[in-house]
Structure 1
Amino acid sequence: MDSAYNIDPTTKQPINITVKNLNYSIEIPGTKPSKLPCLRKKQEIVPPTEKVIIDDVSFHVKSGQMLAIMGSSGHGKTSLLNVLSCRNEGGTLTGDIELNGVKHTKHMIEHFSAYVRQDDRLLQYLTVKETLMFVAKLKLPSKLTQFEKESKVDEVLTELGLSHVSNTRVGGANIRGISGGERRRVSIGIQLLMDPSVLFLDEPTSGLDAFTANHLIQTLEVLTKKQRTIIMSIHQPRTDIFELFHMVLVLSRGKTVYFGEAPEMIQYFTDLGFPCPQLTNPSDFYLDLATIDVTSEEKEKRTSEVLKNLCQAQKDAQEKQEAPEPVSKELSDHTVAGAMRNHIGYPGFFTQSSVLARRHFKNSVIDYWCLLAQGIQALLVSLVVGAVFYHIAGDQHGLYDRFAFFFTLCGFYGYSISQDVITRNAVERNYLYFELQDKMYGHFAYYVAKLTAEFPFHIFFSVIFFIPAYFMADLNDDTETYFKLLGTVSLLLYCCRSLAVFASTTLPNYTFASMLSNMISGILVLVSGFFINLDSLGSGFRWLADISYYRWALSAAAHFDIKPRNFTCELVQKEFCIYTGEVALEKFAMADDEIWVAFTVISANVVVLLVAGFLALRFLPQRPYEY
């Protein structure tokens, strides 16, 4: 076998990063002429423009160094980090990025680096160790034993100073847990499990107090001693934090104002005639110096001239410097291994889906308040429906009440389930998008795991919902009818759940997904045969009735309970009486319906909706709504 395939992708190799004349720009769309003549005359046509995000940036950082990319908000820090980590979407990119002298590729970056985002996306009900263990099972090679994976997790916990909170829940909005700094270190720990050579961090100190931020950067500084290359964006760090950096890159409007060793920055600007005043934070002072003041035309002109001179001085200084020699010329071989990482003993579909199913199930079970609320909701809805239709009579009024009962049973709780699924899926987007971006698992593995983990809860709550209403309404008390109706209701409710899954994977937030789900459900309910007789539907709507899972569920329920019954009739009603269930089904245009057809159509709806939901998950970005 080729030597490249024998390389253990978890082996860390020292990486030097060299960036040469990097430029990155995006197109700002203009306004197109209106199609309405009355508006076209008044409309101002604005052509598309190109916005420069990164402007001729060059720097290098060695293995074992920590580079801080500093700058004011909106001046290109995060964009540069995204370009380096191959996470930029669209835009025009020119220049060179090299890893140990080899032109970087997306596969290479994915293999050798890890990316820690500004905000922590963690499951709040899992403990710190459980969080890392689930990631270890998803990302570490399958050849490692359970003991070896646990040892790796313990090593990372120790390295990041998290051992004392390893059995503490992460916590979040609904439950107390670890501190903000510890949450950030857990996010870093997730990425460290693969022992990356390069670690990118987007403003890791954001939202942390001064002490916690300092402690976090100290932890990162220790990580560089293991030949890691660390590159982070940061906004005006404190002096004690600034002193921990090895290299600093200061950006202003995408241009380089300073690049060099952190201890030399003060002397560099002093030589240019900008000494840092005593008792002043150097990062604050020089970032203010590199910022254009737009409060007045005079200040804007003066500060623009200062920035122009600073950028030119830095460009002249960099031309005199030489990039360091690469540490190794063997990176291209490792790149092959990196490109093949998903085929060299890494967890496959079955491992991923089983691990994800256990994680999803465990996180759901621990969230007992949510489970309790769902159970109470199912029980209360059932009791209300049962109370309204309590002891349905066997006369003519009771006949129509039975149809109404089955219609309510089929549609009422389905709406609640849909809203619950859409709400939970909107929350899941907060971490799903980023875990998929990190290639922690595949789309299909996640989808199968989610459906598998949620199915037992669906059955459980369907039974809770069905039993009280069934017996309170005084339906057929034979066991066969009971289980047939339970199966019908459960299948219909799962169809409602499938519609909600499709809507929530297709549209970005709760409001839009709920609107789509409600619109489709509303149309299918209208043609279910309860509000209007199926024979009265026009040909343009008949096909909707033929695919409506509400119509077929109502028909199946009527066949199971109403068809075998006989109904009483008062003397004054005899001319208009319906004596048998078969005649009743004829009146509702359901007599010719076959039970197997009903279950086939409802099941087909489930399959189509779930397949459509997966296609939406696979091909539409699942980014949270705020993104």
Structure 2
Amino acid sequence: MSLSCISPIPENFGSNFNTHLPHLPTMLEPIFPIALKFEEVVYKVKLEGEKCKEKTILHGVSGIVCPGEILAMLGPSGSGKTTLLTALGGRLRGKLLSGKITYNGQQFTGGVKRRIGFVAQDDVLYPHLTVFETLFFTALLRLPSTMAHEHKVGQVERVISELGLTRVQNSIVGGPLVRGISGGEKKRVSIGQEMLINPSLILLDEPTSGLDSTTALRILSILKAMADGGRTVVTTIHQPSSRVYHMFSKVVLLSEGRPIYYGPGSTAVDHFSSVGFSTTLTINPADLLLDLASGIGPESKHAMEQGENMEKEKKQVRDALILAYENNISIKLKSDLCTFDATTYNWNKDASNVARKDIKGEQWCTSWWHQFKVLLQRGMKERRFEAFNRLRIFQVLSVAILGGLLWWQTPESHIEDRIALIFFFTVFWGFYPLYNAVFTFPQERRMLIKERTSGMYKLSSYFLARTFGDLPLELALPTAFVFIIYWMGGLKPDPIIFILSLIIVLFNVLVAQSLGLAFGAILMDIKPATTLASVTTLVFLIAGGYYVQQIPPFIVWLKYLSYSYYCYKLLLGVQYHENDTYPCLKMGKWEWCKVVDVPAVKSMGLNHLWVDVCIMGLMLVGYRIIAYLALQRVRMR
């Protein structure tokens, strides 16, 4: 029995796609069949804390998957299924990966990447977007700019119809804290995101994980229809039902990273029976395969026991299965790999031209400006609930009103209280946006990796869209805050001074937010990022010029790193001038004293304000550049 592809494809293969999936659109280019071949794939990882020590995850796995077939990777947890799938998707690179993976006889290229859909095990979706919005924004980013807008909308509607999502298309996706659609519907949305690009090869990691048997069967039925339409489908699956198992064209069974079976799913039980692992029970073939991959024989009486004897028995079973694979399957598979003719599946002339264009020229389906606009629109839709939720508005407004009551119409003679109010502006809007910004990139890390790995957009378009998209959301609350507390506190009732004070506070908000983004992007972990933010804010608070006015010379440089210091000085410089006076009590008499003689003002000074503006501007730009460079280091996996 040959384990390679059954027969060459006809010339019109892929053009009959719509006869298999009648709901899918005809405006996309035809499917260009991809035959996937992988030979002796080995992958190792370096052990942390141990120099020059490596652990082998995959031990020489080989196979062929042709258009129209579904290859299922079976095995217990930790057997290397996801690692192999990731390698086949071109997402594992470096010296630790060896072997040969080809697509129609070609190496992995940008053109091949465009025709691969990858569905991760976890459904990484924005919780506040509806199903239609999720797929629509994906279509805008992943479908070529040459396609008309109405065709993209039609593509989304047809995918929604094909996946049976019409009933929930206007429902939000939901997440851990937001109620939304069901787990099976989320999985179909994730598959739909890949179906939008009409992939030739689709890879899925545990698409039925956490789903009931009926929903799992529906997911596999969708994949079977996609394969029948000319696609190559590869999926990992943990414990399929018997109905699901019989949909697989081929099966790869892994045990601790080693292959112990490769071939049609229908002949797997016969193979293991022929090597002495038969069972008299009528069971799901997948259950038998998983037991054997775990080292448990079908007639084992110690399946639930633990101990040294059990581990020895498991090792004996695995060794026997590996030997049987080498003797009965591996030799035939190597012969099939050598004789397999990948040129049968070479793309036609038009497809080759498209591939060459992908490789040599345009790397992105859409322009930078288009990506920026779509990401800006999507970001504002997703975060509108987060930025203007009731709790956050209540928090800011209550602090503003309470602060206004505490500083209610502070008279000019109480200049220390006025200065304290000015410093409060600096403190609150120097630290509040910083803590909010720290969460930004760590929370979006998985989404960023998923979309960037799929080649949806450039990092610069994402970063700038995130930056500009946050402006109206992040500046609205501090504006309301200043409007309330400035006039309630009795500061100078000059419209020009008020506007300048507002601009300085908003400037401070942007600088603080930039530092928070940098912390989050560098660490990409919320706990250490918030810890670092706490330490930094405390240092900036103490060195801000209000609490400690005479800092020792050996550490005086610390205040020049604090944006709170510059914001505080600018607010003082706007509110007061060198010649300003205020009524003060001296020797029991009221006199007019100079503002510059007040210790808090004298230690700060009221000169060189433009220098302070420039320094804060450098901080704003510098922190954002650091955040951008840190995001480039995020592991694209």
Find out whether 1:92 has 2:89 as its counterpart.
no
**CA drift at 1:386:** 1.6
- By how many angstroms is 1:241 displaced? 0.9
- Secondary structure of the equivalent of 1:196? coil
Per the TM alignment, residue 92 of structure 1 is displaced from its structure 2 partner at its CA by 2.3
* Partner Cα separation in structure 1 for residue 361 and residue 222 of structure 2: 29
The answer to whether structure 1 residue 173 and structure 2 residue 176 are counterparts is yes
Contact 2:572 2:606 in 1 (8 A): no
Letter in 2 for 1:214: L
In the alignment, the residues of structure 2 paired with residue 448 and residue 126 of structure 1 have an alpha-carbon distance, to the nearest angstrom, of 21
Could you tell me how far apart the structure 2 residues matched to 1:573 and 1:601 are?
Answer: 43
Instruction: Give the superposition deviation at 1:165.
Output: 2.1
Separation (CA, whole Å) in 2 of partners of 1:614 and 1:320? 51
Provide the rounded CA distance (Å) in 1 between the counterparts of 2:404 and 2:332: 85
Aligned to 2:417: 401
Deviates more, 1:224-233 or 1:424-433: 424-433
- After TM superposition, give the deviation of residue 59 of structure 1 in Å: 1.3
Contact 2:449 2:635 in 1 (8 A): yes
The one of 333, 338, 356 aligned to 1:336: 356
- 1:249-398 to structure 2, matched below 5 A, reads 249-292=252-295, 295-318=306-329, 319-321=331-333, 322-323=336-337, 324-326=340-342, 327-330=344-347, 335-340=355-360, 342-343=362-363, 346-367=365-386, 371-395=389-413, 398=414
Shift of 1:109: 4.1
Match of 1:465 in 2: 481
Q: Provide Cα deviations, 1:292-347, integer angstroms capped at 9, x if missing partner.
A: 36923333333322222222222233323524432334587664333246447x21
**What is the letter of the counterpart of residue 499 of structure 2?**
F
The TM-score normalised by the length of structure 1 is 0.89
Residue 131 of structure 2 corresponds to 128
Query: Structure 2: which amino acid aligns with 1:12?
Result: I
CA deviation after TM superposition for structure 1 residue 101, in Å: 2.6
**Aligned residue type for 1:265:** A
Q: 1:24 aligns with which of 35, 38, 43?
A: 43
CA contact (8 A) 1:26 1:50 kept: yes
Distance 2:291 2:184 in 1: 28
Question: Aligned equivalents of 1:266 and 1:493: distance in 2?
Answer: 66
Task: State the TM-score, normalized to the length of structure 2.
Answer: 0.87
Preserved contact between residue 138 and residue 355 of structure 1 (Cα < 8 Å): yes
1:597 shift after superposition: 2.3
| Separation of aligned partners in 2, 1:579 and 1:30 | 66
Aligned partners of 2:184, 2:207: CA distance in 1, in Å?
A: 9
Q: Report the residue type matching 1:336 in the other structure.
A: R
Alignment of 1:61-72 (within 5 A): 61-72=65-76
Counterparts in 2 of 1:482 and 1:622: CA distance versus 1, 3 Å: farther
1:560 corresponds to which residue?
Answer: 574
Within a 5 Å distance, the mapping from 1:151-190 to structure 2 comes to 151-190=154-193
Q: CA deviation at 1:420?
A: 1.9
Residue 463 of structure 1, CA deviation: 1.1
SS at match of 1:260: strand
Cα gap change, 1:482 to 1:239, in 2 (>3 Å): same
- Deviation per CA, 1:215-240: give whole Å up to 9, x if none: 11111111111111110111121111
The residue aligned with 1:34 is none
What amino acid does structure 1 have at the position aligned with 2:581?
A: N
Q: Deviation string for 1:392-416 (max 9, x for gaps)? A: 1222xx1111111111111124322
Q: Secondary structure of 1:567's partner?
A: strand
Deviation at 1:87, TM superposition (A): 1.6
Q: How many residues align?
A: 593
2:3 aligned residue: none
Residues 1:573 and 1:257: Cα distance change in structure 2 (over 3 Å): farther
Deviation at residue 154 of structure 1 after TM alignment: 1.8
C-alpha spacing 1:622/1:572, structure 2 compared with 1 (3 Å) = farther
Question: Is 1:251–1:258's contact at 8 Å kept on the other side of the alignment?
Answer: yes
What's 1:414 paired with?
430
Residues 410 and 306 from structure 1, CA distance in 2 versus in 1: closer, same or farther, beyond 3 angstroms?
A: same
Distance between the aligned counterparts of 1:341 and 1:585, measured in 2?
65
Closer/same/farther in 2, CA of residues 95 and 604 from structure 1, 3 Å limit:
closer
Partner letter of residue 548 of structure 1? S
Deviates more, 1:49-58 or 1:291-300: 291-300
Distance 1:24 1:540, change over 3 A: same
Kept in 2: contact 1:558–1:585 (CA 8 A): no
Matched to 1:83, the amino acid is A
SS in 1 for 2:545: coil
Deviates more, 1:234-243 or 1:378-387: 378-387
Contiguous gaps of at least 5 residues in structure 2: 1-26, 297-304
2:510 alignment partner in structure 1: 494
Aligned match of 2:609: 595
Say if 2:522 is the partner of 1:506.
yes
Residue aligned with 1:52, SS? strand
Q: Is the 8 A contact 1:501 1:610 kept in 2?
A: yes
Contact 2:28/2:198 (8 A) holds in 1: no
Matched, 1:572 2:590: no
Q: Within 2, Cα distance between the matches of 1:22 and 1:618? A: 28
Q: 1:343 to 1:282 in 2, by over 3 A?
A: closer
Partner of 2:146: 143
CA contact (8 A) 1:10 1:194 kept: no
Q: Residue in 1 aligned with 2:8? A: none
State the Cα deviation string for residues 171-191 of structure 1 (Å, max 9, x = none).
222332221111001111111
Does 1:605 find its partner at 2:605?
no
**Correspondences of 1:508-523 after superposition (within 5 Å):** 508-523=524-539
Report SS of the residue matched to 1:377: helix
Deviation, 1:17, is 1.3
Whichever residue aligns with residue 384 of structure 1, its letter is L
Q: CA 1:341–1:266 in structure 2 vs 1: closer, same or farther (change >3 Å)? A: farther
* CA contact 2:569–2:606 (8 Å) conserved in 1: no
Moved more, 147-156 or 352-361: 147-156
Counterpart of 2:562 in structure 1 is 548
Cα 1:9/1:521, change in 2 over 3 Å: farther
Instruction: Give the corresponding residue for 2:462.
Output: 446
Q: Tell me, in whole angstroms, the C-alpha distance in 1 between the residues paired with 2:212 and 2:600.
A: 73
Q: Please name the residue that 1:43 is paired with.
A: none
Q: Secondary structure at the match of 1:123?
A: coil
Amino acid at match of 2:257: G
How far apart in 1 are the matches of 2:48 and 2:603?
56
Deviation per CA, 1:78-108: give whole Å up to 9, x if none. Answer: 1111111122255623322222233x22535
- Which range moves more in the overlay, 171-180 or 564-573? 564-573
Do the aligned partners of 1:27 and 1:91 also contact (CA within 8 Å) in 2?
Answer: no
Offset at residue 9 of structure 1 (A)? 10
Separation (CA, whole Å) in 1 of partners of 2:226 and 2:390: 44
Structure 2: which amino acid aligns with 1:443? Answer: L
Residue 101 in structure 1 maps to residue 105 in structure 2:
yes
Task: Answer whether contact 2:72 2:234 (CA < 8 A) is retained.
Answer: yes
Q: Is the 8 A contact 2:440 2:520 kept in 1?
A: no
* Deviations 1:539-563, CA, capped at 9 Å, x for gaps: 4434433443222221222222233
1:439 Cα deviation after fit: 1.9
SS in 2 for 1:560: helix
| 1:428 CA drift (Å) | 1.9
The offset of 1:272, in angstroms, is 2.3
Give the corresponding residue for 1:3.
Answer: none
- 1:33-87: CA deviations, max 9, x gaps? xxxxxxxxxxxxxx64332211122211111100100000111111111111122
Secondary structure in 2 matching 1:143: coil
Amino acid at match of 1:317: N
